[in-house]
Chain A
Amino acid sequence: MMKLNPEIDRTSWQVTSEWVRCNLFSSWWSSALTLLGLAVSYWVLWAVLDWAVFTAIFTGSDGSACRIPGAGACWPFITHKFKLFMYGRYPVEELWRVNLTYVLALGGLVPLMLPRVPGKLWLSVYMLVGFPVIAYFLLTGAEWLGLPIVTTDLWGGLLVTLVVACVGIAASFPLGIILALARRSDLPLIKWLAIIFIEFVRGVPLVTVLFFASVMLPLFLPENVTFDKLMRALIGVALFSAAYMAEVVRGGLQAIPRGQFEAADALGMSYPQKMGFIVLPQALKLVIPGIVNSFIALFKDTSLVLIIGLFDLLGIVKQAAQSDAKWFAPQTAVTGYVFAAFVFWLFCFGMSRYSAWLETRLNAGQRH
C-alpha cells in the first residue's frame, strides 16, 4: 500500500539529522559559523566550569585556602558573609523584622501579579498605603510598639537595594502619572513646568542627580531640617525615575483615541473622573511592558547609591572584598561580583519574563 504521508514513518534519527542540517550546516558559511560557535561555547563553558567548580574552593573559615596558586572561585567568602550581603549590619536579634517585611511584601505582591486572583483594588490599597506604613515602622523601629530603633546607617546589602528600588518604584509611579498628565495639560504654565522638569532630569546622568541630592539638597533646606543619607538617595532616585516613568505613561496617553476623551466630556465627567475612570485605566494597561522596563532600569540603577556612600548589595560586596584582610585572595573580588551579578540578574530577568508573559496575555485578550 502506498504511504500517504511519508513524514509519519521517519525515525527520530532522521528528524534530528534533518534539523541539524537545516539549522546548523545549511551552507559552508553556516557550517563555519557553527564550528566557530561551538569553539566559543566550549571555551566559555570550560572556563566558567573550571573557575566555578573544578578549581574552586568550597570550604574554609578564612581566605587562606583561596590563596593557593591557581585557585578558582572562593565560595566560602560568600557563605561566611551571606548575612552581611543580605542585611548589612542590621542587628542580628532584629533580623526577623526584615524577614517579616519581606513576607508581608510578598503576601501583597504575588496575588497582585497573578491575573486570576480577585480583589485587586483592596490589594493595591494595601500595597500602596498599608504596607509602606507597616514596613516603615518595622524596619526603622518604634518605641511605642516595643521595637528598638535601627538607624539607617546599619542597613545594608540586599535590604538597601530592595528598599531603594521599592521606594523608588512606589514614589515614581504616582509622580510619573502626575507629570505625564501635567505635560499633556492645556494650561501653558503647568505644561512647561512638566516639560522642563522631565527633559532636565532625562538629560543628566543619575550620578549627578545623586550628587545633587547629597550635596546640594542640604543647602536648599532650612538649617534645622536634615535628612539622613538614605533619605537623600531615595529622593534623588524617586525624582530621577519619575521623569522616565512620565515619558512611558505619556506614550500610553497618546495612544488613547480622542473619542474617549470627548465621550467622557460629553457624559459630563469632571477632569479627575475622566482621567481616573476612562483614560488612565486604558493608557496604563497599554504601557505595562514599558513600566516594567523602567522598573528593571531603576533596579539596576540602585547600585549607583554606593557612589554617595551607601552600602547596597554591590557596595557591601565591594567593601567586604577590598577591606577585609582576612579574606584577601586573588579571586575573592571576582567571586563577590559574580554573586552580586547573579542576584541582580535573578531579579531583573524575573521582571522581564513577567513583563513578556503579561504582554502576550494582554495581546491575546485584544486579538478577537
Chain B
Amino acid sequence: MTRATKARNEQRSLRSFTDYFYDPKTRGIVLQLIVAVLLVWLVWATVDNTIRNLRAQGIASGFGFLWNTAGFDISQSLIPYTSTDSHGRAFLVGLLNTLLVAVVGIVLATVLGFVIGVARLSRNWLVSTLASVYIETVRNVPPLLMLFAVYFGVLKTLPSPRNSIELPFTSYLNLRGLYIPRPIWVEGIWIVLLALLVGIVAAIWIRRRAEKKRIETGEQGTVLLPVLGCVLGLPALAFVLAGFPVTFDVPQLGRFNLKGGLVIMPEFMALVVGLTLYTAAFIAEIVRSGILSVHRGQREAAAALGLHDGQVMRLVILPQALRVIIPPLTNQYLNLTKNSSLAVAIGYPDLVSVFAGTTLNLTNQAVEVVLMTMGVYLFLSLCTSLFMNWFNARVALVER
C-alpha cells in the first residue's frame, strides 16, 4: 500500500457524521432504504388485510373459478358459448367482443377522422367551418354521454319488431337491432378465395415492375387499372364462373318478431357509433397538425418539379406528415380500445361487462378478476408501445 492511499484512507475514517449526512450518495441510499422498507410494509399489510378480509367474508381465492360453470348467458358471442361453459370461456368471449368493437371502431374512426382533418384544412370556408364546429362540439362532451345519447336517445326509441323500419336489401331496423341478410358460403367459394389470392400476388408484381421501370427510365406508367383488375376483377370473374357460390339467410318479418338473418345488437351499434364519432374528432386534429407540420417549401418545391396536386399529397406531404401523425394516432387507437370498456354502462357484453361485471358478482373474487381485466388492457398497451418504438425507429429522420 502506497503512502498516498494510506493517507487517504486515514482521512476517510476521520470523516464525521455531518460529512455523511451531506453526502448525496449516502443520502440516496438511505432514502431508497426508507422507501423500500415502507414498500415492503405496505405490501405486507395489504396482503395480510386481504387474506383476513377474504377469510372473514368466506371468499375463495386462486384462479380455480375459471374452470367452474359460468351459469349466465351472453347476448353476443363470436365463439360458441352457452351458460354451461366455464368462466374462463366467458372471459374469452368478453375479450373477443372488446377486440371486435375496437377493430371496427378504429377502422371507422380513422376514415372519418382523416376526412374531417383534411376538411378542416380545406380552402373552402364552409367546409372548414363545419369541420371545426364538429371537432369543437364533440371533443368537449364526455364519450359516455355520447353513448347514452345514441343508445337511449336514438336506438331505444326505435319501433318494436312488428313495426320494423324497412331498409334496402331486405334489412330491418328496430328496437332489437339491425337485421341484415346472413351470407352462407356454399361449395365453390374456395375458387373465389383462390382467385383473390392470385389477384393480390399479381397486383404486387405489377406494382414492383412499374416501380422498377420508373427508377430505370423515369417513365410513370399507370398501374391503377391493372391492379384494380387483378384484385377486384379476378375474384368477380371467378365468382361468376363458379356459379354464384353464396346464398343468403334473409330475415323474415313474422307476426311478432323477425326470424333469421344476422342481427347486429343495438348495444354494439351504439358503442361503435359513439366511440367512432368521439375518437374521429381527436384523429382529425392529429391529421391536421400532421399535415401542417410539413413545411410549405416542400409543397412548393414539389409543385415546381411539376408534380400535380394528387402526387404532391401522396408522394411528398403524406410520407412526411405520417411521421408526425402515427405516434399520437396509435395513442388514440389505444384510447378507443380502453374507452370500449364504457360498454358496461349500456350492457354490451365486452370484457369489463362480462368478466369484471357478471363474473365478479357471481364469484366475488374481486382481486383475481380485476387484476386479470387490467392485465388484458396492460398487455394491449404494452404491445402498442412496442409497435410505436419499432415504428419510430424505422421512420425517424436519418440525420448526419
Tell whether A193 pairs with B35 under 8 Å between CB atoms, given A203-B382, A208-B374: yes
Cα A34 to Cα B124 with chains together (Å): 7
A68 contacts which chain B residues (CB < 8 A)?
none
Q: Is A300 an interface residue (CB 8 A)?
A: yes
A307 contacts which chain B residues (CB < 8 A)?
344-345
Give chain A interface residues in 26-85, CB to chain B under 8 Å: 26, 30, 33-34, 37-38, 40-41
A23 contacts which chain B residues (CB < 8 A)?
123-125
- Verify B124–A24 contact, CB threshold 8 A: yes
Binds B, one of A110-118, A330-338, A360-368: A330-338
- Verify A208–B140 contact, CB threshold 8 A: no
- Verify A296–B53 contact, CB threshold 8 A: no
Q: Is B237 an interface residue (CB 8 A)?
A: no
- Verify A220–B39 contact, CB threshold 8 A: no
Give chain B interface residues in 44-61, CB to chain A under 8 Å: 46, 49-50, 52-54, 56
Tell whether A219 pairs with B148 under 8 Å between CB atoms, given A187-B32, A203-B381: no
- Verify B140–A205 contact, CB threshold 8 A: no
Residue of A nearest to B138 (CB): A345
- Verify A186–B28 contact, CB threshold 8 A: yes
Cα A174 to Cα B127 with chains together (Å): 43
Partner of A208, one of B50, B139, B352, B381: B352
A41 contacts which chain B residues (CB < 8 A)?
126, 130
Q: Mark A194-235, 1 if CB is under 8 A from B, else 0.
A: 000000101111111001100110111111000000000000
A337 contacts which chain B residues (CB < 8 A)?
145, 148-149, 152-153
Q: What is the minimal beta-carbon distance from A84 to any residue of chain B, in angstroms?
A: 17
- Verify A330–B381 contact, CB threshold 8 A: no
- Verify A330–B370 contact, CB threshold 8 A: no
Give chain B interface residues in 145-188, CB to chain A under 8 Å: 145-146, 148-149, 152-154, 156-157
Cα A192 to Cα B344 with chains together (Å): 33
The A contact surface, by secondary structure, is helix
Residue of A nearest to B140 (CB): A348
- Verify B35–A34 contact, CB threshold 8 A: no
- Verify B374–A37 contact, CB threshold 8 A: no
Q: What is the minimal beta-carbon distance from B123 to any residue of chain A, in angstroms?
A: 7
A318 contacts which chain B residues (CB < 8 A)?
148, 152
Tell whether A37 pairs with B124 under 8 Å between CB atoms, given A203-B381, A204-B378, A207-B344: yes
Q: Is A159 an interface residue (CB 8 A)?
A: no
Q: Is A94 an interface residue (CB 8 A)?
A: no
Cα A300 to Cα B373 with chains together (Å): 23
Cα A189 to Cα B345 with chains together (Å): 39
Cα A205 to Cα B98 with chains together (Å): 13
Q: Is B72 an interface residue (CB 8 A)?
A: no
Q: Is B223 an interface residue (CB 8 A)?
A: no
- Verify B373–A215 contact, CB threshold 8 A: no
B157 contacts which chain A residues (CB < 8 A)?
330-331, 333-334
B32 contacts which chain A residues (CB < 8 A)?
187-190
Cα A300 to Cα B281 with chains together (Å): 15
Partner of A314, one of B28, B123, B124, B142: B142
Partner of B145, one of A37, A190, A322, A340: A340
Q: Mark A328-361, 1 if CB is under 8 A from B, else 0.
A: 0011011001101100110011001000000000
B137 contacts which chain A residues (CB < 8 A)?
345
Q: Mark B333-368, 1 if CB is under 8 A from A, else 0.
A: 000001101101100000010001000100000110
- Verify B126–A212 contact, CB threshold 8 A: no
Q: Is A237 an interface residue (CB 8 A)?
A: no
A302 contacts which chain B residues (CB < 8 A)?
142
B352 contacts which chain A residues (CB < 8 A)?
205, 207-208, 211
Q: What is the minimal beta-carbon distance from A293 to any residue of chain B, in angstroms?
A: 10
Cα A190 to Cα B157 with chains together (Å): 54
Cα A40 to Cα B125 with chains together (Å): 14
- Verify B370–A211 contact, CB threshold 8 A: yes
User: Could you say which of B136, B352, B373, B374 has the most chain A C-beta atoms within 10 Å of its C-beta?
Assistant: B374
Cα A352 to Cα B141 with chains together (Å): 12
- Verify B381–A202 contact, CB threshold 8 A: yes
- Verify A333–B366 contact, CB threshold 8 A: no
Q: What is the minimal beta-carbon distance from B34 to any residue of chain A, in angstroms?
A: 10
B366 contacts which chain A residues (CB < 8 A)?
215-216, 219
Q: What is the minimal beta-carbon distance from A20 to any residue of chain B, in angstroms?
A: 9
User: Could you say which of A212, A314, A321, A337 has the most chain B C-beta atoms within 10 Å of its C-beta?
Assistant: A337
Cα A216 to Cα B50 with chains together (Å): 9
- Verify B141–A341 contact, CB threshold 8 A: yes
Q: What is the minimal beta-carbon distance from A272 to any residue of chain B, in angstroms?
A: 13
Q: Is A304 an interface residue (CB 8 A)?
A: yes
- Verify B52–A203 contact, CB threshold 8 A: no
Residue of B nearest to A351 (CB): B140
User: Could you say which of B56, B136, B153, B157 has the most chain A C-beta atoms within 10 Å of its C-beta?
Assistant: B153
Q: What is the minimal beta-carbon distance from B327 to any residue of chain A, in angstroms?
A: 14
- Verify B153–A219 contact, CB threshold 8 A: no
7 further A-B contacts with Cβ under 8 Å, apart from A189-B32, A349-B140, are A38-B126, A204-B377, A219-B49, A300-B140, A300-B143, A306-B345, A334-B157
**Can you report 23 A-B residue pairs in the complex whose CB atoms are below 8 A from each other?**
A30-B123, A33-B127, A38-B126, A186-B28, A189-B36, A190-B35, A200-B374, A203-B382, A204-B378, A208-B370, A208-B377, A212-B374, A223-B56, A300-B143, A301-B142, A304-B342, A333-B153, A337-B145, A337-B153, A340-B145, A341-B145, A344-B141, A349-B136
Task: Using CB atoms and an 8 Å cutoff, list the residues of chain A in contact with chain B.
Answer: 23-24, 26, 30, 33-34, 37-38, 40-41, 186-190, 193, 200, 202-208, 211-212, 215-216, 218-223, 296, 300-304, 306-307, 314, 318, 321-322, 330-331, 333-334, 337-338, 340-341, 344-345, 348-349, 352
Closest 3 CB pairs of A and B: A348-B140, A205-B338, A203-B381
